């Protein structure tokens, strides 16, 4: 990373604000004390009651009954956007236009057009923006990337990344509700898609299939891609089967296997031709969101508005794969645009 004018003007802990008080906001807030230098200074909710309850839970001094409270608070260095995906775009753009740096939950937006507008707003305002693909910063994934980059397994030609769980249908739950951005692919399949994109880049060819459920959202899907180096990949998600989560990255000289919750890996095995398998254990404290918080801190202090490990073009490529797949299955949302 190059050194530019810092995006924060103090040496104290990074002052985080949070927008939304749901499931992931709580998990994130729980991990925040594990970050190198971070404090939670403000929370915004659609209701004062929820802002206060969240504030009490995590000892947050400033609690707002609207997201605008966070937008207008001058003493926040970076905002974590933790609303359901259809509400990522508007609030992120408001925050960026108010000069705030943003870590936005995944998927960054509902489609490519929204993603592009968010990136344009970050660029125009000189603010940091990153899609919260936290898995890329976990120590195990950092080690896997080292092996990919230093040629340990040779040129990757074959990748499979699949995950899932059996989630009983619930029309009100975000996953099954199109008004809330419902789609197994957007919700969790993005982990498999981002893995393919991280390892093999943008596809040159793609075919995919999905099974749609009673609310018209994709519940089982498989996306197969071919890439410029000849490599092929499978990215799958199911919310209808009690699936093991498996990822195998196979190169000309060896294979990396993550056979336990690879979307949030702590361990993996390296297989090299003619050698004993090597098992790596990269366990750590907490769930592991502190690692992306530390990366955000490095960017803010280093004046970097686009993180190289989950860059804006990465987010656009991930959004394009998902948009193309969803549209090919006939999954439409009230938020669709070209
Ligand atoms: N990185 C990860 O590991 C991970 C894990 C789970 C989810 N996520 C992502 O994080 C985002 C939020 O997921 P979640 O599981 O935390 O969702 P959630 O539990 O439903 O919480 C979302 C929060 O967003 C706010 N919100 C704003 N507009 C809303 C609306 N129209 N309907 C419902 N809530 C609304 C609510 O907070 P207030 O009422 O306080 O405003 C709500 O508590 C999603 O984009 C999801 O893909 C990421």
Cα 220 to middle of ligand 1, angstroms: 22
Ranges of beta strands (E only) in 112-253 are 129-131, 156-164, 203-212, 218-227, 232-238, 246-251
Cα 76 to middle of ligand 1, angstroms: 21
**CB of 134 shorter than 6 A to ligand 1:** yes
**CB of 82 shorter than 6 A to ligand 1:** yes
For the residues of 19-50, what is the DSSP string, one character each?
E--SHHHHHHHHHGGGSSSEEEEEEE-SSHHH
Cα 83 to middle of ligand 1, angstroms: 4
On whether the CB atoms of residues 239 and 167 are closer than 8 A, the answer is yes
Cα 88 to middle of ligand 1, angstroms: 10
Q: How confident is the model at residue 3 (pLDDT cuts 50, 70, 90)?
A: low
Q: Using the predicted structure, report yes or no on whether residue 2 has a pLDDT greater than 60.
A: no
**CB of 26 shorter than 6 A to ligand 1:** no
Chain-centre distance for alpha carbon 179: 20
pLDDT at 94: 98
Residue nearest to atom 15 of ligand 1 (CA): 23
Residue nearest to atom 36 of ligand 1 (CA): 20
Q: Using the predicted structure, report yes or no on whether residue 1 has a pLDDT greater than 50.
A: no
* Residues listed for the chain: 338
**CB of 187 shorter than 6 A to ligand 1:** yes
> pLDDT tens digits for 20-74?
999 999 999 999 999 999 999 999 999 999 999 999 999 999 999 999 999 999 9
Cα 114 to middle of ligand 1, angstroms: 18
CA-nearest of 122, 131, 125, 67 to 103 is 131
**CB of 128 shorter than 6 A to ligand 1:** no
Q: Which of 253-260's residues contact partners 24+ apart within 8 Å by CB, and which partners? A: 253/151, 253/152, 253/153, 253/154, 254/152, 254/153, 254/154, 255/153, 256/144, 256/147, 256/148, 256/153, 258/140, 258/144
Pairing between β-strand 78-81 and β-strand 254-258 as defined by DSSP bridges = unpaired
Report the share of the chain in percent with pLDDT over 70. Answer: 99
**What are 159's strand-pairing partners?**
233, 249
Domain layout of the chain by residue ranges: 14-135, 139-283+318-328
**CB of 183 shorter than 6 A to ligand 1:** no
**What are 206's strand-pairing partners?**
225
CA-CA distance, 274 to 255, in Å (whole number)? 12
**What are 240's strand-pairing partners?**
166
The Cα-based distances of 119 to 58, 311, 316 in angstroms read 30, 10, 9
Cα 20 to middle of ligand 1, angstroms: 6
Cα 65 to middle of ligand 1, angstroms: 16
CB-based burial of residue 226 (10 Å sphere; 0-12 exposed, 13-18 middle, 19+ buried)? Answer: middle
Tell me: domain 139-283+318-328, CATH 1.10.3720.10, correct?
no
From the options 3.30.70.270, 3.40.50.300, 3.30.479.10, 3.40.50.720, give the CATH code of 14-135. 3.40.50.720
CA-nearest of 227, 196, 237 to 329 is 237
CA 103, 109, 114, 115 torsion-angle sign: positive
**CB of 28 shorter than 6 A to ligand 1:** no
**CB of 254 shorter than 6 A to ligand 1:** no
CA-CA distance, 205 to 225, in Å (whole number)? 6
> pLDDT tens digits for 168-215?
999 999 999 999 999 999 999 999 999 999 999 999 999 999 999 999
**CB of 55 shorter than 6 A to ligand 1:** no
CA-CA distance, 84 to 234, in Å (whole number)? 26
> pLDDT tens digits for 107-126?
999 999 999 999 999 999 99
Cα 154 to middle of ligand 1, angstroms: 40
The Cα-based distances of 234 to 13, 134, 222, 245, 323 in angstroms read 41, 21, 7, 13, 17
Cα 19 to middle of ligand 1, angstroms: 9
Q: Which residue has the tokens 């299955």?
A: 329
pLDDT at 337: 86
Chain-centre distance for alpha carbon 274: 36
Tell me the average pLDDT across 149-159. Answer: 97
């Amino acid at each position: 990373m190059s050194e530019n004018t810092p995006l924060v003007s103090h040496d104290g802990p990074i002052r985080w604000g949070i927008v939304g008080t749901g499931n992931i906001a709580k998990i994130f807030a729980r991990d925040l004390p594990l970050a190198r230098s971070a404090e939670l200074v403000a929370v915004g909710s659609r209701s004062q009651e929820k802002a206060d309850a969240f504030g009490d839970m995590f000892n947050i001094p400033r609690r707002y009954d609207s997201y605008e409270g966070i937008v207008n608070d001058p003493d926040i260095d970076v905002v974590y956007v933790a609303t359901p995906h259809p509400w990522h775009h508007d609030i992120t753009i408001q925050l960026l236009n108010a000069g705030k740096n943003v870590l936005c939950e995944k998927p960054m937006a509902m489609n490519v057009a929204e993603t592009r507008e968010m990136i344009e707003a970050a660029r125009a305002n000189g603010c940091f923006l990153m899609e919260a693909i936290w898995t890329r910063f976990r120590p195990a994934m950092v080690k896997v990337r080292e092996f990919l980059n230093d040629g340990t397994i040779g040129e990757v030609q074959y990748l499979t990344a699949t995950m899932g769980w059996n989630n009983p249908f619930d029309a009100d739950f975000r996953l099954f509700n199109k008004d809330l951005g419902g789609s197994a692919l957007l919700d969790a399949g993005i982990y498999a898609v981002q893995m393919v994109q991280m390892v093999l880049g943008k596809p040159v060819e793609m075919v995919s299939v999905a099974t749609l459920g009673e609310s018209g959202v994709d519940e089982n899907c498989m996306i197969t891609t071919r890439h410029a180096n000849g490599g092929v990949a499978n990215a799958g998600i199911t919310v209808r089967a009690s699936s093991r989560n498996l990822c195998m990255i196979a190169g000309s000289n060896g294979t990396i296997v993550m056979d336990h919750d690879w979307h949030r890996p702590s361990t993996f095995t390296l297989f090299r031709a003619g050698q004993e398998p090597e098992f790596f254990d990269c366990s750590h404290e907490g769930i592991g969101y502190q690692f992306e918080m530390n990366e955000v801190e490095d960017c803010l202090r280093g004046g970097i508005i686009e993180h190289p490990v989950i860059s804006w073009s990465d987010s656009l490529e991930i959004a394009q794969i998902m948009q193309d797949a969803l549209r090919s299955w006939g999954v439409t949302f009230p938020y669709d645009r070209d």
